[in-house]
Amino acid sequence: MYADTRSTATTTTSVGTFWMDRLVKELPVGVDRLRQDRILEEALANGADPLHLAHVFSLGAKASLR
């Protein structure tokens, strides 16, 4: 069930969709909703600074201002 952590724990590459699907398939919301919630929490914690949000979440200018 788990990835080989000896070879993946020391890298910064993203996980594949296979592993993400396995992790979130039992959750009542999808990954898009989880990301939206994470962005909102970050905005509330850091004063909704658009530049900070754009940098942390790789958002464009318009998206970070929403």
Of 10 and 4, the structure prediction assigns the larger pLDDT to 10
Q: What would the pLDDT profile of 11-64 be if each residue is shown by its tens digit?
A: 777 777 787 788 878 888 887 888 888 888 988 998 878 888 888 888 876 665
- Burial class from Cβ neighbours inside 10 Å (0-12, 13-18, 19+) for residue 54 reads middle
3-state secondary structure 9-65: CCCCCCCCHHHHHHHHCCCCCCHHHHHHHHHHHHHHHCCCCHHHHHHHHCCCHHHHH
pLDDT of 2 higher than 60? no
pLDDT of amino acid 5: 62
Residue 6 pLDDT class (50, 70, 90 cuts):
low
Radius of gyration of the chain (CA): 15
pTM: 0.57
